[in-house]
């Protein structure tokens, strides 16, 4: 009999916690500190066009100096995340990192007022490398958006890269993606011992 | 030998297990598993016997990685080592550790071994096809509300209940 | 400091392996404590004599689910960074059915067979041996079933994205379903006990 009352008590506690969760989730869908609020993203192709058109941009590379020296997006300045001063954000900034982990840490630390002035490069320098400098582009009859292919190809040549053409119309999907409602791309720490999945 | 202590309340154990899972999510960003470690062991064996054969298969290569790290130096392998230790500790504390054969009253020891072995082979096929076992798919994916994991879980219970009537002699 | 700690680089490789051992010990401990190291108790689930498997599994699932929701809500954990096994509808449904059949014949699932082996069940050791052989066979026939293995791919998707509902609501519904299941299993157990 005592055992049953423990079970019922546990069920009641669990129900209470989850009911509170439901109320909170409906009242504050982004969480207490807006942890689920998504930043505004800029795609690498759009960024490449803006740099090419010599628009005045404030691009910040959050990685350490060594990685920056090795490779970075043209016109970017290097401010490693550890030395980043939040008070220095006066106007709109565009930030990127290798994957998105450093950018995400910066985003978590930003107050709401500064978040409005911050734009994140979708996919960071990895996507710049894979999608602008050395992209895989589709060719053949299935390609519907020929203009986009040409645009990326021109940008790739402008920045001194090299495009691979493959007979796979689905390759264009990345470039046609609407980033206005996008959420953080799935990135995981790479190169370690940890193989995810069973 | 004194009588083993009774099992704990399953809900309390479930909460404990849930908190363990939550800790894995929070610290590692991944869930727990068991079959993945066994696969690592098998793949290491295959790789030792025939290197070229292992490297020709996409399935084996997924567990071998790029070859810079030994395939047994893997998170899941260490976790399953822990499972063995944890099971032993708990069994020891409750006085349940003894050499025994778990079976129904109507079946001989050798037949029980045969069926445990066959069951293992069939189950291995299921876990590899579904990309995870009850820990890696049902628990981890279930807690993350993963669509495929819930499908797997429902199919698991359907399959086991459908088969249960045919193998009643094994257990009752 | 937000989770997952490993992905953000706050915990090193060696520390994460040590952590794996700790997690494993706790995992094995709770499995054995609830009696899931016993094939008789596991198989009794499927003859409706003892619903421990169902109770423990779903308590663990909803505990972790509620925990992830709250940690995420308080800004301590980025739930979207936790690894999700990609969904492949057909292999996962067929795999689940095959797994269920193997489960009731062998009497263990992979995690519990390890626990059973550790507590001295010889049939648990046989089950582990069968699992290892089965994985080897699967690896050998993999080239022939690769097409089926990747059938019905939906990518990494959760119910929250699939149904496009707030996560709190989905968690709430799943917890209600689980509580109803607990109530039903208590009822079934009490009914079978009277017989």
ipTM score:
0.93
Residue of chain B with shortest Cα separation from C69: B144
Secondary structure letter of residue C77 according to DSSP: B
A contacts of C75 (beta carbons < 8 Å): 31-35, 108
How high is the mean pLDDT of chain A?
84
Q: Which residues contact A145 (CB under 8 A, 6 or more apart)?
A: A172, A175, A176
Distance CA C173, CA C169 (A): 6
Distances from the Cα of A193 to the Cα of A25, A73, B132, B135, angstroms: 36, 29, 19, 20
Q: What is residue A2's predicted lDDT score, i.e. its pLDDT? A: 58
Among candidate residues A6, A15, B28, the one with its CA nearest the CA of residue C77: B28
Tokens of C137: 């066979």
* Cβ count near A126 (within 10 Å): 18
Give the gap in angstroms from C-alpha C149 to the nearest C-alpha of chain A: 15
- What Å distances lie between residue A157 and B62, C6, C90, CA to CA? 35, 38, 43
Q: Whose CA is closest to C61, among B168, B143, A148?
A: B143
Characterize the bridge pairing of strands A59-61 and A77-78.
Answer: parallel
Beta carbons within 10 angstroms of residue C54's beta carbon? 19
pLDDT of residue C119: 93
| B129 to C115: CB separation less than 8 angstroms, yes or no | no
Q: Which of B30, A102, A113, A145 is nearest to C16 (CA)?
A: B30
> Which band of pLDDT confidence, cut at 50, 70 and 90, is reported for residue C31?
very high
Is A195 in Cβ contact with B75 (below 8 Å)?
yes
Range with the poorest average pLDDT among A167-181, C47-61, C109-123, C151-165: A167-181
Q: Do the beta carbons of residue C159 and residue B147 sit within 8 Å? A: yes
- Residue A70: CA count within 13 A, CB half-sphere: 9
pLDDT at C108: 92
Residue A52 has pLDDT above 80, yes or no: yes
Share of chain C above pLDDT 90, in %: 62
How many interchain CB pairs under 8 A, B with C? 516
- Kindly state the tokens that stand for B155: 């199919």
Q: What is the mean pLDDT, run by run of 10 residues, along chain B of 172 residues?
A: 80 94 92 90 91 86 79 89 94 89 87 93 93 90 93 94 89 82
The chains found to touch A (3+ Cβ pairs under 8 angstroms) are B, C
Distance in Å, alpha carbon of A1 to nearest chain C alpha carbon = 13
CB-based contact, C62 to chain A, within 8 Å: yes
At A174 the pLDDT is 84
Give tens-digit pLDDT for A108-142. Answer: 888 888 888 889 998 888 888 888 888 888 887 77
The pLDDT assigned to B74 comes to 86
- The band of A3, judged by pLDDT with boundaries at 50, 70 and 90, is low
Q: What is the dihedral of CA B142, C6, A125, B62, to 10 degrees?
A: -60
Q: Which of C6, B98, C122, C41 is nearest to A189 (CA)?
A: C6
Give the dihedral sign, CA A186/A191/A193/A195. positive
The structure tokens 């021109």 sit at: A154
As a whole number, mean pLDDT of residues C12-34 equals 92
The answer to whether B75 contacts A197, with C-beta atoms less than 8 Å apart, is no
Dig out the tokens for B44 from the structure.
């290491």
Instruction: Yes or no: say if B119 and C127 are a contact pair by the CB < 8 Å rule.
Output: yes
Q: Nearest chain A residue to C178 by CA: give it.
A: A11
Enter the tokens of residue A28. Answer: 């504050």
Largest Cα separation within chain A, whole Å, is 78
R_g of chain B, CA atoms, integer Å: 19
C54 in contact with A, Cβ within 8 Å: no
Supply the pTM of this predicted model.
Answer: 0.90
Angle at C82 between CA C76 and CA C87, to 5 degrees: 150
Average pLDDT over residues C84-108: 93
Cross-chain Cβ contact A195/B33 below 8 Å: no
Q: Quick check: C97 and B31 CB within 8 A?
A: no
- Is residue B132 within 8 A of residue B35, CB to CB? The reply is yes
Q: Which residue has the tokens 């047994």?
A: B72
**What is the pLDDT, as a whole number, of residue C133?**
95
Identify the three-state secondary structure at position B71: coil
Q: Nearest residue of B to residue A14 by CA position?
A: B15
Q: Does the structure show a pLDDT above 60 at A191?
A: no
> Which of A15, A101, A108 lies nearest to residue C7, judging by beta carbons?
A101
Q: Could you tell me which chains touch chain B, where touching means 3 or more CB pairs under 8 A?
A: A, C
Residue from the list C16, C66, C167 with its beta carbon closest to the beta carbon of A194: C16
For residue A91, what are the contacts with CB-CB under 8 A and spacing of at least 6?
A: A58, A117
Residue the block writes with tokens 């989770």: C3
Question: Cα separation of C145 and C148, whole Å?
Answer: 5
A-chain residues near B141 (CB < 8 A): none
Q: What is the pLDDT of residue A4?
A: 67
Q: How far apart are CA A50 and CA C166, in angstroms?
A: 36
């Amino acid at each position: 009999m005592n055992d049953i009352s423990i079970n019922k008590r546990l069920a009641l506690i669990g129900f209470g916690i989850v009911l509170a969760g439901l109320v909170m989730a409906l009242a504050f869908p982004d969480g207490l500190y807006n942890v689920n609020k998504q930043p505004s993203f800029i795609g690498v192709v759009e960024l490449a066009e803006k740099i090419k058109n010599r628009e005045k941009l404030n691009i910040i590379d959050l990685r350490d100096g060594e990685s920056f020296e090795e490779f970075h997006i043209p016109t970017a300045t290097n401010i490693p995340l550890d030395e980043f001063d939040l008070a220095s954000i006066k106007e709109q900034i565009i930030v990127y990192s290798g994957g998105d982990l450093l950018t995400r840490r910066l985003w978590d630390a930003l107050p709401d007022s500064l978040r409005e002035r911050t734009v994140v490069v979708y996919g960071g320098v990895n996507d710049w490398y894979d999608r602008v400098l050395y992209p895989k582009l589709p060719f053949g009859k299935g390609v519907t958006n020929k203009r986009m292919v040409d645009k990326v190809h021109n940008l790739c040549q402008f920045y001194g890269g090299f495009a691979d053409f493959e007979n796979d119309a689905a390759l264009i999907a990345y470039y046609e993606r609407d980033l206005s409602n996008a959420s953080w791309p799935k990135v995981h720490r790479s190169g370690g011992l940890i193989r995810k999945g069973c | 030998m004194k009588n083993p202590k009774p099992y704990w309340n399953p809900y309390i154990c479930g909460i404990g297990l849930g908190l363990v899972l939550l800790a894995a999510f929070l610290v590692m960003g991944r869930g727990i598993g068991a079959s993945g470690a066994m696969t690592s062991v098998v793949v290491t064996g295959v790789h030792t016997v025939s290197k070229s054969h292992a490297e020709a298969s996409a399935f084996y290569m997924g567990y071998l990685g790029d070859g810079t790290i030994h395939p047994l130096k893997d998170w899941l392998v260490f976790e399953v080592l822990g499972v063995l230790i944890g099971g032993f500790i708990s069994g020891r504390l409750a006085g349940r550790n003894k050499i025994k054969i778990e079976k129904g009253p109507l079946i001989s020891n050798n037949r029980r071994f045969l069926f445990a072995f066959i069951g293992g082979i069939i189950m291995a096929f299921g876990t590899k096809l579904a990309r995870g076992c009850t820990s890696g798919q049902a628990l981890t994916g279930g807690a993350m509300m993963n669509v495929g994991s819930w499908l797997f879980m429902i199919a698991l219970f359907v399959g086991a209940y459908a088969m249960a009537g045919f193998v009643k002699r094994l257990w009752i | 400091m937000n989770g997952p700690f490993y992905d953000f680089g706050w915990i090193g490789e060696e520390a994460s392996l040590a952590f794996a051992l700790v997690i494993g010990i706790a995992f094995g401990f709770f499995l054995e404590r609830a009696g899931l190291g016993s094939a008789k108790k596991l198989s009794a689930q499927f003859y409706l004599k003892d619903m421990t498997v169902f109770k423990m599994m779903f308590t663990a699932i909803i505990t972790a689910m509620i925990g992830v929701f709250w940690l995420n809500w308080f800004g301590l954990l980025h739930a979207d960074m936790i690894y999700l096994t990609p969904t492949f509808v057909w292999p996962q449904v067929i795999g689940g059915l095959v797994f269920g059949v193997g489960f009731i014949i062998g009497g263990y699932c992979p995690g519990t067979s390890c626990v059973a082996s550790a507590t001295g069940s010889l049939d648990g050791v046989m089950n582990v041996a069968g699992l290892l052989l089965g994985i080897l066979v699967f690896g050998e026939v993999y080239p022939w079933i690769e097409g089926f293995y990747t059938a019905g791919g939906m990518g990494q998707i959760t119910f929250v994205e699939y149904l496009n509902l707030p996560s709190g609501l989905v968690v709430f519904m799943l917890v209600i379903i689980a509580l109803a299941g607990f109530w039903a299993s208590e009822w079934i157990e009490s009914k079978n006990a009277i017989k």
